[in-house]
Amino acid sequence: MLHYKVREIRKDRDLALRKEHTQELREKVVIPWIRELNNISNAKKYYPVLPQKGDNYFGEYYKVEDFDIERTEKILFKDFLENHASKELKESFKYFKKYCEKLSNRINETKRKIKDFLKENLKKHEILILNDREICKQIEKNYNFHAFEEEIVDFILSCLLCEAKIKIHKNGIYYKNYQKIEFCYIDKCGYWKYSPKAIFVSKTIDENKKAEVENLLNELLNKAKEKFKNDIEKIYTLVDEINKNKKIMHEELKKFEHKRIYDGNCEYIKYP
């Protein structure tokens, strides 16, 4: 009889500990994790591609960093993931981070290839790829030249991702009477997209020069579409994998948000 009572007491105590620990994990790990995940956008099949944390304009891009909840509740997060989380949650968490890192690396590698491609092809037309500081230095020397900012690489990648064509957006004064052309692109659905950094700079720009530059860029873009076709397809695949695992992760966490008692054993619910 005494043995039975002790067993019942232990059983009640175990249940109480599990309820208490479940509530702690729910409040300190699961719900904050859901909020954080809701604040991370999906990966996109247009530039800048990577999932973004927070504000659309000032938020950081998620590459492979830990979630905030991993840092703020390090011990409880580890306990939840290792001892209580479902197999689906563990795997989706693992693959989400893995594919985000792969996507970041793939984008950087593709941009490097595009930059080399543009440098090689534009140099034939006496067009250099330079950044703002380098352009201004050349202008100070009164050197008559044509130059693209280095950010044109991002612009071309955007065009490749959206299967776009390039159009001139506007022109004006760049620096010390040197003129500039800013470009936009039209995606396959007919939407205009603007790039703040895709700039061509020259001492003089007339209508013939505008047409020449626009035609040249579209010609290079068509070559780039074929040359980087596999790279773009790999980016698309990684985007799909990231969004799939983000969705699974969110669905599994929502289950834990409403689950009354979490399964699994850990040191926090041991009863001597």
Q: How confident is the model at residue 133 (pLDDT cuts 50, 70, 90)?
A: low
pLDDT of 107 over the 50 cut? yes
pLDDT tens digit sequence for 220-246? 889 999 999 999 999 999 999 999 999
Packing angle, helices 207-227 and 229-258, rounded to 10:
70
Packing angle, helices 229-258 and 152-162, rounded to 10:
80
Distance between CA atoms of residues 256 and 261, nearest Å: 9
pLDDT tens digit sequence for 36-49? 999 999 999 888 89
pLDDT of 9 over the 60 cut? no
pLDDT tens digit sequence for 166-212? 777 656 656 666 667 677 777 666 655 655 455 676 667 777 877 88
The three-state DSSP-derived secondary structure of 157-192 is HHHHHHCCEEEEEEEEEEECCEEEEEEEEECCCCCE
The size of the chain, in residues, is: 272
CA–chain centroid gap for 165, Å, is: 23
Task: Give me the residue label for tokens 């040359």.
Answer: 227
Other C-beta atoms within 10 Å of 39: how many? Answer: 13
Return phi, psi of residue 49, to 5°.
75, -55
Q: How confident is the model at residue 124 (pLDDT cuts 50, 70, 90)?
A: confident
The mean pLDDT of the chain is 82
